[in-house]
């Protein structure tokens, strides 16, 4: 069966996460329903990352197997027609080898977490960023984040229900960016790794927010990491501000 890679954008707010669920809306369920309008008996699809409820994506990647030999552009156009009105879009499609896998062929994943600092409630960005009423010191958060880059036991920053076999992961990069807004400012956390533990990004951002607010020091983050104890973690940031922004593969299947 011909296999296709799909690059996806979606607003995670109305979904219970990526993974198909019997009694709640999911991104996987919406996409598989659209595929079923094109062909009967399309096999279950797979994604590079199973985003949680409320988490968004601008660069999620999934793959599907089709019975027909579709032109990738026509496949993306047909899927976008049948996805309406769900807030999910196929922004690119490509034919890939039959042994290519959206999850297992990936060599890196990139996430961005958005925090908007201002006293007034969020209106247009409500549900799409974490609203923090006070300002945050992005420079000290960037300093604290350096303690987390590299290969570590991230037990402190993994959910208790995480199913990963090992808490040891390599965080390749963590950048903190400040963007001025008309009212307040936005802090963006950019993280890159081959793979992440369940709730790792949100746990890291929630902890770094405590540093930016002056409640923790950068050394407190280093001590929390070394503790390898979930109880040492700061509060977990809400899902609203988290975006899966990209997935890397040995070859860019969407190039050209």
99 vs 106: CA distance, rounded Å: 13
214 vs 223: CA distance, rounded Å: 16
Positions marked active-site: 52
Neighbours of 58 (CB within 10 A): 16
Tell me if 79 sits within 8 A of 22, measured CB to CB.
Answer: no
């Amino acid at each position: 069966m011909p296999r296709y890679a799909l690059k996806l954008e979606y607003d995670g707010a109305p979904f219970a996460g990526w993974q198909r669920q019997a009694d709640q809306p999911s991104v996987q369920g919406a996409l598989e329903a659209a595929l079923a309008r094109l062909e009967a008996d399309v096999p279950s699809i797979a994604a590079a990352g199973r985003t949680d409820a409320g988490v968004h994506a601008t660069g999620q990647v999934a793959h599907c197997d089709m019975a027909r030999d579709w032109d990738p552009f026509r496949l993306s156009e047909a899927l976008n027609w049948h996805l309406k009105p769900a807030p999910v879009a196929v922004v690119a499609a490509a034919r890939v080898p039959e042994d290519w896998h959206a999850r297992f062929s990936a060599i890196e994943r990139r996430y961005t977490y958005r925090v908007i600092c201002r006293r007034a409630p969020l209106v247009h960005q409500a549900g799409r960023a974490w609203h923090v009423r006070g300002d945050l010191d992005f420079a000290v958060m960037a300093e604290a984040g350096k303690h987390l880059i590299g290969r570590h036991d991230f037990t402190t920053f993994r959910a208790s229900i995480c199913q990963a076999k090992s808490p040891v992961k390599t965080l390749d990069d963590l950048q903190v960016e400040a963007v001025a807004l008309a009212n307040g400012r936005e802090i963006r956390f950019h993280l890159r790794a081959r793979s992440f533990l369940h709730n790792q990004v949100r746990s890291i951002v929630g902890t770094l927010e405590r540093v930016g607010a002056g409640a923790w020091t950068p050394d407190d983050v280093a001590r929390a990491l070394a503790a390898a104890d979930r109880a040492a973690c700061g509060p977990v940031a809400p899902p609203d501000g988290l975006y899966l922004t990209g997935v890397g593969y040995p070859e860019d299947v969407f190039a050209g």
